[in-house]
Structure formats: C-alpha cells, structure tokens
Chains A and B, each alone.
With several copies, the nearest count.
Chain A
C-alpha cells in the first residue's frame, strides 16, 4: 500500500547504491525532481534504464550516479546530443559507462514482459541489425508453429521504477494521462515503485477529454510524493507546457565539464529540494 512521503524520504527509502533504476517517461512527465533527489543523495553505481534517456539522465550520468545505461534512444529530443552521456561513453568521464543498447520495440517488449511476470519478451525485431552483436541479451528463437526467427529479450525488472504523474488521491492511487509511454509497465515490472505527482487530491478524476487515462492502484506503488512542477522542464499535460528553451539551453551547459559541474553544484547539489532548485534558476538562461 502506497505511503505518502516527502520526496527526500521516498528516494532515500527506495533507491540504494548499485540498484537498477528506471526513471521512465516519453517526453511527457519526466521525473526530473526525483532524478535531482537521487543526485543530491549521491547514489552511486546505478544501472539506469530508460527507453529515451534525456536531460535528466545526462545530469545523473554527469553527476557520477551511473555505471551502466540500458537504453534505446539517447538524445536531447529536437536539439541534439546529450553531451554528458557522450562524454561518458566516448571519454569515460566522470567514469566509464557500460551500455546495454536496444531498439524501442525491444525495450517496450522487455518492460511488458517484466510487468507480465514472464522471463522474456518476444518480438519481430532486430533482424539484420548489428544491435544483437553488441548486446548479448538479445537472442533469437524459432516459432514452434511457423519456424520464423523472432527476437527474445530477458524481461526488464528494475529494482526501482520512478515516474511522475498528474495526480494521486490521499490513499496513494495514481492517475496519469496523455502520452504515458511505458510508465505503467515500468511500475508493474519494478520491485519498488516511486511516483511523484503534481497534486494530491481528495478524489481522482480525469479532466474532461483527457486522452489515455491510466490508473495505478495504491497497492502496486511503494510511495507517492507530491512535487508541484516536478516534471519541469518537461511537461505535465493539463498543468504546464514543455519548456523547450531549457532543453535548448541545456546544450550549452552540458557541453563543458566545468560548466556542467558548476551548474549541478549550484542548482542541484546546492539546493534542498525541487522548489529551491526552481528558485535558483531565476535570472539564469535556464529559467522558466
């Protein structure tokens, strides 16, 4: 049964050094606040899992939290490279970063297998691609009916999955809508699930015309933390838009190791929580 906790406690309770952690989100509802809290708590040696590692993963990697990345597309969407991710892969800074690389279809299938209690997931995929040569977790099996070659991937079962959602009620039932990516699967596949939300309300109700409403009952969630704006600079449909300027400006911050270090020290490690982080941005190019 989900506990309602302050974010600091929720992360301290759920995320341990060496864990496999998925902070999921597909452009929408990226759990930035939770990612910052992991940086603040100086977790180390994490295996980070995500289909689309973006700026928050760039920050986690640059801040030295991760030793491995499981992913299928790593970039700053619409802007370009993730410089901290590239620096870790290309130069081993701040430490080496092992890669387990997939295609989206494979990772989505592996998450769904994890959520389904299956040891592996099955897809028509990777045929002819070099990815299986560099990722030994991708195997091929033969269909027992048609003889076709199909890809088989071990289920993804994170120690911890973290997502951001629009709402929870006071019992910890969670509601999200819009682009929900693999968040449901990530939560159901994980041993421990932490959810940050825009608001905790008396009664869960979706706004009129909200597309693709997903509900996660409280008994599949370990903790819920209310963090208003906790997906900034990504967006929360119905709450605030994506701050595209931040994503573009991030390119400048992340290009240089010293600039990045100074930014993380000042704005993340040097702030007590996400609200203070937001205030610390005032007057900087990355402000709202």
Chain B
C-alpha cells in the first residue's frame, strides 16, 4: 500500500484552505500544460506536480515554461522559476505564442469577486473611478480565461466574494450563461470548476450557472448557500469531497514550510 492511499486519521486536523488547495490540485490531469497564477493557484498546481501529476507542465506568465520550483514563488517571476524551467521566453511571446496560441490545457485563476456564471473581478470594489478598494487589476486573467482550453478558479467562499453582480467584469467565465462564450467566439471552454474552502461548484451543462456539486467534509449545503451572495443552485446529488490523504497533506505542508522558510529573508 503506497503512501498515496493512506487515509488520513479521522482526528487529523486540517484547515479549510488546505482542503481547498488539495481539492484544486486533484483536478490537474498529469501531463497537462498549466498556466498558473500566484497564490492559491500556484500552491495547488505545485501540489499536483509533487503528488499525482509529476509530468504537469507549469507555466507562469513571467515566461517560464515547465518550471519545477522547490518552494512556492512569492512573485510570478522568482529566480527559481527561471532556473528550474525547461525554457524561458519573453512575456510578449508567452502571451502570443503560448497562451493565445491555444496550447495551454488548463488555466488556474484566483479572484476577488465571482458571479453565478463564473465571471470574475480582480479590478475594483465599488465604482471604478471612486473605488472603495482598488485591486491589482487584470494581469493575465482575461486572456487566460478566454484562451486556455479549460479554466479552474479557486477562492474563499463568502457573500462578499460570491456576488449577485460584479462591481467590474475583469475576465469572463460563461458571460451571461448558455452559449454566451460561443457568441463571443472565445476559444476555450471556460471555467469547469470553482473550488472554494467550502466545496466545489460546477457550471450546469446547459445554463452554465454555477451549481454546488460537492461539499468538503464537515460542511453542509446550507452553509455554502449562506456564503453565496445569490440563490445558489444545488445539484440533486451533492457529494462530499474526499478528505485530504496523509500524503497530500504532508506534501502540501512540507511545501509551505519550505516556502515560509525561504521567504523569511532573501529567496
């Protein structure tokens, strides 16, 4: 029996963030080419690479292709990304030849706000010209969301994040639902899962409205509904996410411990 399949002892504590990261990592198919944002997406992508998906090709928008960092990068262009990459290319090439070229299997995005069609806001909270909070902005997200064959989104669940109406549409998911993407002639199929600290939402095959399909262990459906700023669709059968395995948890914790140590000073 390999480490992979050792179930977690029932009383082992793990955090909701760990569950979210692990659930996201599991969605990565081995061998896929991943376009990875900093933060939660980067942690999940690297966890996948260090567990079940060792041949995953990690691509950061800084131009690093096939990178294999030993610690999580604090920034998207850390030296370790360049030093462990199969190839490093200029940023215009990255966006033109690699992302827009349609060769990325999976885009991995975070968000400040998301709506029921998995459109996301990373620009402002409040009015654009008089924002209550000025967020960092689009970065690579609009074209990652448009051009990757498939997109995963990870963010923490709260009514402030899961909103009826975005303050700003930075990047489109399924637009206004249905065939909204097709009408815009967007190349990729858009978000296929939203992984939160409470569960997993999946777009309905027809309406493309996000639907709760899985809750993490110990989370109930009502809790997720309450954390969602619109009347949340719930699948007829809501499964429970498998809890972290011992292997998943220890690899993730080792990774984060190495990372914390490295980032404490120069890294």
Residues of A within 8 A of B (CB): 1, 26-28, 51-52, 71-75, 77-79, 81, 85-86, 89-90, 101-105, 108-109, 111-112, 115-118, 123-131, 134, 148-149, 173, 178-182, 184-185, 188, 211-212, 214-217, 219-220, 235, 237, 240-245, 247-248, 288
Once bound together, how far apart are the Cα atoms of A180 and B92, in whole Å? 10
- 12 CB contacts below 8 A, A to B, read A51-B91, A73-B136, A75-B136, A77-B38, A102-B138, A124-B187, A125-B146, A128-B146, A178-B79, A180-B88, A212-B90, A242-B74
Q: Are the CB atoms of A242 and B138 closer together than 8 Å?
A: no
Q: Are the CB atoms of A180 and B90 closer together than 8 Å?
A: yes
Once bound together, how far apart are the Cα atoms of A184 and B266, in whole Å? 27
Q: Are the CB atoms of A124 and B143 closer together than 8 Å?
A: yes
Closest to B75 in A: A77
List the 9 shortest-distance A-B pairs measured between CB atoms, nearest first: A27-B77, A128-B172, A75-B136, A77-B75, A78-B74, A73-B139, A212-B88, A215-B87, A103-B138
Q: Are the CB atoms of B97 and A130 closer together than 8 Å?
A: no
Further pairs besides A77-B38, A104-B139: 20, Cβ < 8 Å = A74-B134, A104-B138, A105-B99, A108-B95, A109-B96, A116-B97, A117-B102, A127-B184, A128-B184, A129-B170, A179-B64, A179-B79, A212-B88, A215-B86, A217-B87, A220-B103, A241-B266, A242-B79, A244-B262, A244-B264
Complex interface: chain B residues within 8 A of A72 (CB):
137-139
Complex interface: chain A residues within 8 A of B262 (CB):
244
Residues of B within 8 A of A (CB): 31, 33, 38-39, 57, 61-66, 73-79, 81-83, 85-92, 94-97, 99-103, 119, 123, 128, 130-143, 146-147, 168-172, 175, 180, 184-187, 262-267
Q: Are the CB atoms of B88 and A179 closer together than 8 Å?
A: yes
Q: Are the CB atoms of A181 and B142 closer together than 8 Å?
A: no
Complex interface: chain A residues within 8 A of B140 (CB):
73, 103-105
* Cβ of A47 to closest chain B Cβ, rounded Å: 17
Once bound together, how far apart are the Cα atoms of A1 and B62, in whole Å? 23
Complex interface: chain A residues within 8 A of B31 (CB):
1, 219
Closest to A111 in B: B92
The listed residue (B33, B147, B180, B266) touching A117 by CB distance below 8 A is B147
Complex interface: chain B residues within 8 A of A89 (CB):
131, 134
The listed residue (A75, A77, A103) touching B141 by CB distance below 8 A is A103
Complex interface: chain A residues within 8 A of B61 (CB):
104
If over half of B's interface residues share one DSSP class (helix, strand or loop), that class is named, otherwise mixed; here it is loop
The listed residue (B90, B136, B168, B266) touching A242 by CB distance below 8 A is B266
Q: Are the CB atoms of A131 and B138 closer together than 8 Å?
A: yes
Q: Are the CB atoms of A235 and B138 closer together than 8 Å?
A: no
Closest to B82 in A: A178
Complex interface: chain A residues within 8 A of B139 (CB):
52, 72-73, 103-104
Q: Are the CB atoms of B138 and A26 closer together than 8 Å?
A: no
Once bound together, how far apart are the Cα atoms of A214 and B90, in whole Å? 9
Complex interface: chain A residues within 8 A of B267 (CB):
241-242, 244
* Cβ of A184 to closest chain B Cβ, rounded Å: 6
Complex interface: chain B residues within 8 A of A242 (CB):
74-75, 78-79, 266-267
Complex interface: chain A residues within 8 A of B62 (CB):
26-28, 179, 181
Q: Are the CB atoms of B186 and A128 closer together than 8 Å?
A: yes
Closest to B64 in A: A179
Q: Are the CB atoms of A245 and B266 closer together than 8 Å?
A: yes
Once bound together, how far apart are the Cα atoms of A75 and B38, in whole Å? 12
Q: Are the CB atoms of B79 and A211 closer together than 8 Å?
A: no
Known: A128-B175, A211-B88, A245-B266. A28 touches B79 (CB 8 A): yes
* Cβ of B142 to closest chain A Cβ, rounded Å: 4
Q: Are the CB atoms of A123 and B169 closer together than 8 Å?
A: no
* Cβ of A29 to closest chain B Cβ, rounded Å: 9
Complex interface: chain A residues within 8 A of B102 (CB):
117
Once bound together, how far apart are the Cα atoms of A148 and B139, in whole Å? 24
Q: Are the CB atoms of A109 and B92 closer together than 8 Å?
A: yes
* Cβ of B69 to closest chain A Cβ, rounded Å: 13
Q: Are the CB atoms of B86 and A104 closer together than 8 Å?
A: no
Closest to B140 in A: A104
